[in-house]
Structure 1
């Protein structure tokens, strides 16, 4: 593979996107099968692909996970600004100044908000965390919508009165779905931060150099 090719220059993003799509497709079909099995047990008509795609079951399961991922990344970006972890490849230096803390200087190759300055630069300086915050909020709302829709579908099948959305907001099911994912994401990041103190992966930018001392922060 030529090092100047589009695929080589974007191979990490391409592979991650392909893996995400494959897993999402797998989730869709396994979820479709699972939901229809439950409907058969309840004597309800089966869903087709289009109906399942719009169902609370699929929407809730998808955005419940996306929500936790975007929350994790937003907080990780923000927390690593001021917090440190001695010896971790994921931490800024304990004593030395970092390039990311320098005042941005306009130059011909700088992104246009840097060259423009003013409010554009102020927003751009925090655009990464803002993007994750917006994605988290959208996913949180869609997760709530899917979970709410799925809960009311179950209630209607059982002949019970459906809930109003503001009543469901205080229901334990929705928060159980969120918190079980949030804690797993924070555990995953904690594991990366702490394990990178002592463990190495040669060639990975997420690892310290193999011969670097455990207590040294890159």
Structure 2
């Protein structure tokens, strides 16, 4: 196995799984959409037309928004909050490596450029991970609203009702139901992982404590 593939295997496999499942979503999505179209006496659409539709955009981005919200909140909450005994928590009552001030770090040629540069660039870099996730969340929820507006208006018009604007759709119960049904599942999954990692183990995984580690020990 080439060293580059080995060194980036986790990213590559997850990217590959994303591409495979995304393709499956597109294929099954257009089939489901066309079944509904034909059932209502409408014409079926091509795959290209479907991926440009509000129905597709809404389905994609309502899921993406929940994922990025979950990850952004998790990154931020783990800065301040702890869970005794969990591998997902920083140690309680002692300094963690992640808390070290980069301004006091020894600067070398391998030190990230923003740390070497300092100033406002370093301030931004210190919070760049959560910043990126928040931006992706906001973009996703906007695209969910845009796609949902089109899909909702299409359904309204099919039933002889007027279409809605973006802001009107964001004020509907449907928009918030679609959001909340995804958000709740994301935080349930996080809570299960945080709690279960206190007592359960997965040998070889960095998300687990060592198998023989006592339950009360906090952190990986």
Corresponding position of 1:29: 27
The answer as to 2:18 corresponding to 1:17 is no
Corresponding position of 2:180: 179
Q: Which moved further from structure 2: 122-131 or 161-170? A: 161-170
- 3-state secondary structure, aligned to 1:215: coil
Moved over 4 A (4+): none
How far 1:107 sits from its partner (Å)?
2.4
TM-score normalised by L of structure 2: 0.96
Corresponding position of 2:168: 167
Instruction: Work out the CA distance in 2 between the residues paired with 1:47 and 1:160.
Output: 23
TM-score normalised by L of structure 1: 0.97
Corresponding position of 1:57: 55
Tell whether the 8 Å contact from 2:148 to 2:169 is kept in structure 1 after alignment. no
Q: Please list, as runs of the form range in 1=range in 2, the aligned pairs for 1:183-194 lying within 5 A after superposition.
A: 183-194=184-195
Corresponding position of 1:78: 76
Instruction: Work out the CA distance in 2 between the residues paired with 1:158 and 1:147.
Output: 17
Q: Please list, as runs of the form range in 1=range in 2, the aligned pairs for 1:60-139 lying within 5 A after superposition.
A: 60-104=58-102, 105=105, 106-139=107-140
User: What is the root-mean-square deviation in Å for CA atoms of aligned residues?
Assistant: 0.9
Instruction: Work out the CA distance in 2 between the residues paired with 1:211 and 1:76.
Output: 27
- 3-state secondary structure, aligned to 2:160: coil
Instruction: Work out the CA distance in 1 between the residues paired with 2:165 and 2:98.
Output: 47
> For each residue in 1:73-126, what CA deviation from the matched residue of structure 2 results, as whole angstroms up to 9, or x when unmatched?
000000000100000000000112011111112322111000000010000000
* Unmatched tracts of structure 1, length 5 or more: none
